[in-house]
Structure 1
């Protein structure tokens, strides 16, 4: 029986992405969030963690499903910390904490502790969950007209395995995660890939940033996408979704 239970547990081991957002950081809720998601409470372990100054590229790809919606610009300002730290002298405070949790049923466990996306719903249906401490903010246009609302809900948690894979690969390189905990196939690059102004190149000129070099370990799906884009073929990923992680904390956006 013990061996059977162990096999079932191993089969259900998965990873999920958590983002502790700027509103949680500003309200000193980081310790609270980490304690709620601790191994003692969840049985989950850290697989990766980093403090990120979120670029517009990274934010846009993370919330790609909302691109074109009225609240999209406000959503970017939210995750990039501009709404909670508008003073230019506090640019250094504009950051999120990105964490990968690993363990049996990680996605469902973190979602349960996080609670419903809407803080009002969270308070009524799951009081005591993390998002029950969040708020609802109005979204206005340049003239002050109310367009709708935005949910400042403190934490992001992957919704399902497909989202977890997309998000982990968006925010983390394989080198950010211990090799024994790599959740997805990796491959070693055999060529240079440079990026500038939304385009890929294989040779260096001033201003081009090297995102992957020969010998670098990368997600296999990233290398496939980079090769497809360079070859003019259809890619499963836009170039921004591949390179954003390699540019994390490279420069400060105002």
Structure 2
């Protein structure tokens, strides 16, 4: 099974959206294999967003992502990266379709509720930044035989 990293950002946590967002992924049939609730330390923020550190928007992004707790997750399923990206919606909430998480809950790019890995390679990198191998639990959902051919 494929894995991806998702993070409900401080605005999603503060607005009480964690449960509803997790429920959407569970109802889709994806499997939550790791989760933690924490305020991110600066060194992990720097590593996670390393490709953006020289961009003009980075200081605001860093300040925002460290402004409150986040809910970090690893999800598992076939094609999980592309499925979760579709469910999350466009980065700019003004372009996100209704029914997507950002289309339903976000108004601005800077506070767009959730982060999701954009490729299998990025997912592996981000999972390794935020989770130790022993924090990820492998198990079989009782309904998997009805989810996959």
Normalised by the length of structure 1, the TM-score is 0.52
Cα distance in 1 for residues equivalent to 2:62 and 2:91: 17
Task: Report whether the alignment pairs 1:19 with 2:15.
Answer: no
Q: Is the aligned partner of 1:117 residue 2:91?
A: yes
3-state DSSP of counterpart to 1:54: coil
Question: Residue in 1 aligned with 2:23?
Answer: 35
Tell me whether 1:134 sits opposite 2:106 in the alignment.
yes
- Alpha-carbon distance, 1:151 to partner: 2.3
2:128 paired residue number: 169
Aligned residues: 138
List alignment gaps of at least 5 residues for structure 2: 140-149
CA distance in 2, matches of 1:103, 1:166: 18
> Do the aligned residues in 2 keep the contact of 1:118 with 1:153 (CA within 8 Å)?
yes
Q: Which structure has the larger Rg?
A: 1
Matching residue within 127, 147, 156 for 2:115: 156
d(CA) in 2 for partners of 1:118 and 1:59? 21
Q: CA deviation at 1:33?
A: 0.8
Query: Any unmatched runs of 5+ in structure 1?
Result: 1-12, 82-93, 137-149, 182-254
Partner Cα separation in structure 2 for residue 66 and residue 114 of structure 1? 21
* Kept after mapping to 2: 8 A contact 1:20/1:98: yes
The structure with more strand, counted as a fraction of residues? 1
Residue 74 in structure 1 maps to residue 45 in structure 2? no
> How do residues 208-227 of structure 1 correspond to structure 2 at under 5 angstroms?
none
1:52, 1:95 within 8 Å by CA — same for their partners in 2? yes
Distance, in Å, in 1 between the alignment partners of 2:118 and 2:57 is 20
Runs of 4+ in 1 over 4 A off after TM superposition: none
- Deviation, structure 1 residue 28: 1.2
What TM-score, normalized by structure 2, do the two folds share?
A: 0.87
Q: Contact 1:111–1:159 at 8 Å: present in 2 too?
A: yes
| 1:204-238 CA-partner distances (Å, limit 9, x unpaired) | xxxxxxxxxxxxxxxxxxxxxxxxxxxxxxxxxxx
